[in-house]
Structure 1
């Protein structure tokens, strides 16, 4: 039982991404020191735009404007909502803060689960599935550390694990009364709630077959491409350090100079007026009178100002000119 091909997408993307990351290898630890979201506002906006589109996808896959489509949309609201809340609470136990990125990650995990099960479950079962997916997917993000691979978007934890939870949920909670609402699949049995005990084993067999096939084939394809001269998947160490934007297209999505969290507190700069390493960062102004920064990465550790009481900061200059 899988709503409109949801499992090939989720298991395919999750285990395919895992195989690709395994072939690609892990980045150097120094490249992960300052690893953080590029723009939390964009993460937030993108998640809810995606959520809106997900409702249309789930509801539109039910053969028409029928009650099954209504149920699919309702389930696609309940599951990600509870998954996002649970993920956020689990992250709160570590940082003592309510993370918006955490809520967005949990919401995507819940949407993944809803994709496979939206047209089969009663609303109360979607709540349970959302809570379970939020907990399990959150803890599965640690798998990349155990396996020693890079997974910046937690594709395996969210899509593969979320898809597995959803398929197993269909084996337990799928209800004939919901499936038959489209007026077409009136002879399809549900899962354990309909006393169809063998359905869970069918779901488990499908998970093993689809996951194993996807991982093996993707690993072979990725390795074969990587062995072709000029098509290597891994960037050079220099390219990884400087960034693909600079190496491939010579531009950055965002050029910025990061001083510190308290942006206007620049008192620490005064302590380095006579420091040649600090003065070397600046070059003479161009014909327009603006000052440029050298096109190389310069890191200047600033000692804390005794007056400000702020923690020591780090002045990081981008590799592009700033005006």
Structure 2
């Protein structure tokens, strides 16, 4: 008999998580770090479901066995490739027949296996509950180019609890934020990645998060988290304009000019025709510093206006020539003094 564990036991057990749902289900959202070992392809899953509705459970099981039988050897080989030690931790959507079938198959070939009670559905329920906990957030703000991500990483290096939302979203948040960041996860997967971070944190200690808008690229911040972020104190770092321009030139200096021009055109209406033309001309001529200066006029104005609508406390910190670690230490000193 295959043992079915609750979520806490399942996550704590040494081994590898195998998600046996179809590829499209897995792509939409999954337990971070899990390996997709689909019992059925998307088309097969659809056909089994239709058969269940139209002809009944027995016929659906028979069709499922027809689809999976030729794959048995491949299932075992793939599981062994990913399972260096420990247990094969297997789940499907609701902890039903798909996970049970795979677990029994692997167990019979000598691979220790367990399943997750109520499957991926119970993980999603746990994740939603996390965002309702009374975590204490500290927001890190600053005009574009202030180096907030580097400062967050420095805080993490000092042992602080940090969530890098832009890192998890694979996007920097601006019209240029997708450049060099790879494909974004689905909003569901973004939610899952955040929840795994939160689940490891101490509710009594502050969590540092960058001040973000409700959406980062295509990823939406969970509503409960965004609400907490809006109520949290904001530490606003202020750096000289020339430092911010230098930071952005370093970040985007090796970027294909065509990509920079494409991103600029995305904010053409907000920049205005004349300024857009000037920015594109500067980029084409390799004058990135001048282009960044013009673009910052727009982003600085937008960000500053947003601050006027914020109701939570804002603590302003101004320095020149500070490293990310210097800023992190200053932030911690100010937070402890509040």
TM-score, normalised by the number of residues in structure 2:
0.25
Counting helix residues as a fraction of each chain, which structure ranks higher? 1
Counting strand residues as a fraction of each chain, which structure ranks higher? 2
